[in-house]
Structure 1
Amino acid sequence: MRGSSVEVAYWLMVLCYLGRKHLVTSGCSGRCCRGRNMGCSSTDWRMDRTYGTCYCDEDCINAKDCCFDYFTECPAQDCAVGAWSFWSGCAKPCQPSVRVRVRHVEQQPGNSGDPCPWLEQRAGCREYRDQRGTHCGLHSGPAFITSMKFGNRRPKHDSYGNPLEAGFCVEFKLESRTPHCTVENRPHTHWMRYITEGFKVCVACEPPALRNSSCQGDGQEADKETLLDWQAVGNPHCRGTWRKIQKTPQCTCPTQHNFIFT
């Protein structure tokens, strides 16, 4: 009887030990892997309420074979990025070009967290002095336009704090545009999709374009029958023609149809 009791006690100790070991090493405790990793596995209850081999890698959500504690042991970690840098200068002086700003990843995404957003932004631009600081001279040719939201970043005061001239707005009816305005899919060209034939658009003429005689194509000296040329900054293949409707103090078109001379 004693021997039997000792044997029972022994097996109870073994089972207790194994049970503790199972609790420590089972599930996803200490096992959180990126991507699809077949070696990132355990033996425990799965999320589908079956017992057996389960996984703790990011792909287990799609495969539906995660261990029961995956979401608590491997919480989602969203990507975190820093603030945008200052805008660079235009890539090419004295002609339509692009400027760039960037931001950096401060925390990589993990465990199926949200991916990182765009880390680079581009915007159409045009500078009025070359690399030596010499004035570029008068502009000739088509009117160069960009999105009003890019124009909103322009300074409203000069270096002495004086407010710059307010400028004006010109309404046009778009007569034609090339297919290239809609096929481009880069972030800084999305605004060009709203350049639609037959629609009215508003184009603002503000400093520095105003004081550098760069609002060519604004139709100030033309009548309503004159066909004028325009071109989108940031995509030289997006161009077309328009006719002047009227000049106004401010632009009143819908947001997506407000542009600015560069």
Structure 2
Amino acid sequence: MLLPGSLSHSRTANQTSDIRKNLRVRDPSENPQYDPEKTYCVEFEVLKASKACRKEPNYKALKEGERVCVRCEAEALHEGLGWRCQGHGVEGRITRWSALSARHCHGKWLRAQAEPDRTCSARTCKNESQFIFV
């Protein structure tokens, strides 16, 4: 599941604006193995996107053939996934995505890099990640 990258700064602004509280997700910082420095970005090539995405200003970048950057922030890391975000994809395999705030916006993509980028330096990530994992 994705949210627009513009919401990234509000996720850590304070405890009341943290999206995880509303979704009833466990706080990873309560785990002694948690490391907030493990955030990373993943670049994807969009293979298919529903027509509903075109109607949503925050999701217009999700077009067939486009490359997008998705940031995996510390708040979205899962211990059971080796401190990775759910949905970060597998190299060479098509995976599905859906937009959390636009329920009919969904599609398929392919991870465009072998390993996640800890510095978020990919071409599509330079200015700011376009999306964040939830």
User: CA separation in 2, counterparts of 1:194 and 1:257?
Assistant: 12
Structure-1 residue corresponding to 2:50: 178
Distance across 2 between alignment mates of 1:196 and 1:249:
25
TM-score, scaled to structure 1: 0.37
Q: Which has the bigger relative contact order, CA under 8 A and spacing at least 6?
A: 2
Residue matched to 1:195: 62
Give a deviation string over 1:203-240, Cα, whole Å, max 9, x none. Answer: 11112111465722212xx232x110000111111000
Letter in 1 for 2:117: T
- Is 1:154 equivalent to 2:11 in the alignment? yes
Q: 1:223 is matched by which residue type in structure 2?
A: E
Number of residue-to-residue matches in the alignment: 108
Deviations 1:174-225 (A, max 9, x none): 0000001122xxxxx4211121110111111112111465722212xx232x
Partner of residue 91 from structure 2, selected from 212, 223, 229: 223
Structure 2 gaps, min length 5: 15-28
**Aligned CA distance change for structure 1 residues 230 and 149 (closer, same or farther; 3 Å):** same
The 3 A distance-change label for structure 1 pair 205 and 241 is same
Whole-angstrom CA distance in 2 between matches of 1:145 and 1:238: 10
Alignment of 1:77-116 (within 5 A): none
Q: Quick one: structure 1 residues 179 and 256, their matched pair in 2 at CA, closer, same or farther if it must change by over 3 Å?
A: farther
Q: Is the 8 A contact 2:3 2:131 kept in 1?
A: yes
CA distance in 1, matches of 2:62, 2:91: 22
Q: Quote the Cα distance in structure 1 between the aligned partners of 2:54 and 2:76.
A: 26
Q: Secondary structure at the match of 1:194?
A: coil
Deviation at 1:166, TM superposition (A): 4.1
The 2-side partners of 1:211 and 1:145 are apart by 15
Q: CA deviation at 1:165?
A: 2.8
User: Which one-letter code corresponds to 1:218 in the other structure?
Assistant: H
Unaligned runs of 5+ in 1: 1-143, 184-188
Query: Which residue of the other structure, out of 81, 100, 103, is the alignment partner of 1:236?
Result: 103
CA distance in 1, matches of 2:129, 2:74: 20
Q: Quick one: structure 1 residues 146 and 241, their matched pair in 2 at CA, closer, same or farther if it must change by over 3 Å?
A: same
Contact 1:194–1:257 (8 Å) recurs in 2: no
Larger radius of gyration: 1
